[in-house]
């Protein structure tokens, strides 16, 4: 395989206090790719790197940049949409809770109204009984009054 050798470099490193005194560092645009002992191994490292990371032409690179920008834009839009969905879910849940609370309150008010009506009916019945008792007492008093003063 052929690749652009200008982007790669091999540095020879000397070590003073070691059994093996020399090794090679393989660099790609200044970044360390690996170390080895022979130039054949260094060439293998460069060739393997070139296969894994093909260098794009200027046109391919600009198209790739456009794709990357589009991907970033779509990811941001996706994140925004997910946020909106989450907000809507929370809003829906909140509305459901409020609606449930309102339904409970309506049920409680219906029960109170029913109890109040029952209480009013009992009160009205007692009041009717008291009025009847009062009328009976008034009638007895009138009878007694007549008997006492008519005789």
Domain ranges of the chain: 5-55, 56-151
Per-residue pLDDT, 61: 60
pLDDT per position as a tens digit, 25-68: 999 888 999 999 999 999 999 999 988 887 766 666 677 777 88
Per-residue pLDDT, 151: 65
Closest of 30, 34, 61 to residue 46, by C-alpha: 34
Share the mean pLDDT of the chain: 85
Per-residue pLDDT, 146: 85
Per-residue pLDDT, 51: 87
Whole-model pTM: value is 0.37
pLDDT per position as a tens digit, 63-78: 777 788 888 888 888 8
């Amino acid at each position: 395989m052929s690749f652009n050798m200008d982007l790669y470099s091999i540095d020879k490193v000397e070590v003073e206090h070691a059994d093996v005194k020399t090794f090679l560092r393989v660099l790609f645009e200044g970044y360390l790719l690996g170390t080895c002992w022979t130039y054949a191994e260094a060439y293998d490292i460069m060739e393997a790197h070139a296969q894994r990371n093909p260098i794009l032409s200027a046109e391919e690179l600009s198209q790739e940049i456009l794709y990357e920008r589009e991907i970033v834009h779509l990811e941001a839009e996706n994140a925004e949409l997910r946020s909106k969905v989450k907000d809507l879910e929370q809003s829906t849940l909140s509305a459901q809770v409020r609606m449930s609370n309102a339904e409970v309150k309506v049920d409680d008010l219906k029960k109170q109204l029913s109890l109040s009506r029952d209480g009013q009916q009992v009160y009205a019945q007692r009041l009717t009984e008291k009025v009847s008792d009062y009328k009976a007492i008034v009638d007895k008093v009138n009878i007694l009054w007549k008997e006492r003063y008519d005789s």
